[in-house]
Amino acid sequence: MFNNYGASYQEQRMQQLMEQKQMRDFMRMYTTLVARCFDDCVSDFTSNTLNDRELTCTNRCTLKNMKLNERIGQRFAEESAKLMEDQAKMAQ
């Protein structure tokens, strides 16, 4: 019954889902990062604006976490590939 739609509909739908998912993932990463850097950098509430130390910390935090995210991403891809390879071998 699903085949009435044909492969191209499924492809399109998949594409759409992937885009929506990427948006969601990006938003999640962004909000996590903000919370993380706030938690790690901000503790002075004698003022309602960030002081110099907090500003510098926030900048470094953002960059550092982005780099960590990249590094983890690379290792994650490698390990995932290994895992799938092992699973494929076991299925044989």
Partner 1 sequence: LAAAEQEMEMVTDMFARINDLCYKKCLLQRYNDEELTKAESVCADRCVAKYFQVNREVSDKLAKYSQANQ
- Interface map 22-61 toward partner 1 (x if CB under 8 A): ---x--x---x---x---xx---------------x-xxx
Distance between CA 55 and CA 49 in Å, rounded?
A: 10
Both tokens of 49, joined, read: 């604006």
Distance between CA 59 and CA 71 in Å, rounded?
A: 19
Binding site for partner 1 (CB under 8 A): 10, 13-14, 17-18, 21, 25, 28, 32, 36, 40-41, 57, 59-61, 63-65, 67-69, 71-73, 75-76, 79-80, 82-83, 86
